[in-house]
Amino acid sequence: MRVERARYFLAAVECGSLRAAAARCGVSQPTIGQQIALLEEELDVVLMTRSRRGVRPTAAGQEMLEPLRRLVAAEEAVRESAMVSGGAYAGGVHVGGVSVAAETIIAPVVGHLRAHRPGLRFTVREGASPDIEAAVLAGDLDFGVITVPMHPAPAGLRRVPLISAPVGVLVRRDHPLATRDHVVWADLQGWSIVTMRAGTVLWEVLHAHVTRPDIVVQAMSARTLKVMVGQGAGIGILVGGLDTSADIPDVVWVPVRDAQPIGLCLVQRKDSRPSRAALIVRRLIQGRAEELAVRGAAAP
């Protein structure tokens, strides 16, 4: 049995759709559907049902979840052992990321590596998506984690989807919008707004939907934005589901109903030959993004 097929099936179950699972695994939707069908053929059992609402495991598929998870875990353990013995956890890696990615995805990976693989050295650069892409293209960074810009990737770069998150407003609990279960872009007209700095994706999205927004703060990080909102500077524009500031009290996030989700992606050079150390860090970052995606899917 090809373990990749087990990975694809597990991803489909966790994501609830073949399209989302394909994006997570970095393959096309037809490929993931074909590979799951081959897995069903190998096991001689129907593992999932497909409908317009997505995919769901059958009773037999539900029974196979834990054995297949153990199979995938066993393969990962073998790979890990081989990398340790082969000296893969050595050398340097240069990673870039926008602030929300640095806080929620990159930081946990850095902490894990510092604790368990001190021989692997790395640097992390935080910046706006265009800055990170320019650094990757110039070869200053091995790869980056950015919010997906509204324009196509520059020639020579490849963007790999990681996770998507809804757009919303962050307000103090005593703000009139705090009692709403959602808002629309038109509701933001006339309010003082705290947003990420010019050139960021959130800045572009805001200006695409709100005419001449009253911007009072251009923040360099998601945390600064939240602190400003908490202090009463205005309402913030921020993605949801990637909270790193639970210690900032008396603020609430309200979704913007007519806003499209914003994606985070991994960006790398098309012609790059990543080192073994860079591949390891990239794999850990993709794994962390998958954890966040599963957590978000399970949230009420």
How far is residue 147's CA from residue 202's CA, in Å, rounded to a whole number?
9
pLDDT in tens, 40-78: 999 999 999 988 888 999 999 999 999 999 998 888 777
Tokens representing 28? 């096309």
Contacts by residues 22-30 (CB-CB < 8 Å, ≥ 24 positions apart): 23/161, 24/161, 24/162, 24/289, 24/290, 24/293, 26/160, 26/161
With a cut of 80, say whether residue 182 has pLDDT above it.
yes
Quote the pLDDT of residue 299. 46
For residues 73 and 50, membership in a common domain is answered with yes
With a cut of 70, say whether residue 89 has pLDDT above it.
no
pLDDT in tens, 102-139: 888 999 988 888 777 777 778 899 988 989 999 999 99
Lowest mean pLDDT among 63-67, 164-168, 253-257, 291-295: 291-295
For residues 145 and 267, membership in a common domain is answered with yes
For residues 108 and 189, membership in a common domain is answered with no
With a cut of 60, say whether residue 300 has pLDDT above it.
no
For residues 79 and 191, membership in a common domain is answered with no
94 DSSP β-pair partners: 123
For residues 71 and 193, membership in a common domain is answered with no
For residues 146 and 291, membership in a common domain is answered with yes
Question: Domain tally for the chain?
Answer: 3
Quote the pLDDT of residue 245. 57
> How much is the average pLDDT of 73-88?
70
**CATH number for 21:** 1.10.10.10
Name the residue with tokens 């875990």.
73
Angle subtended by helix axes 276-298 and 3-15, to nearest 10: 40
For residues 154 and 290, membership in a common domain is answered with yes
Higher-confidence residue of 275 and 88: namely: 275
For residues 12 and 93, membership in a common domain is answered with no
For residues 139 and 79, membership in a common domain is answered with no
Domain extent at residue 111: 89-163+263-298
Exposed, middle or buried, 91 (CB in 10 Å: 0-12/13-18/19+)? Answer: middle
With a cut of 80, say whether residue 260 has pLDDT above it.
yes
For residues 150 and 275, membership in a common domain is answered with yes
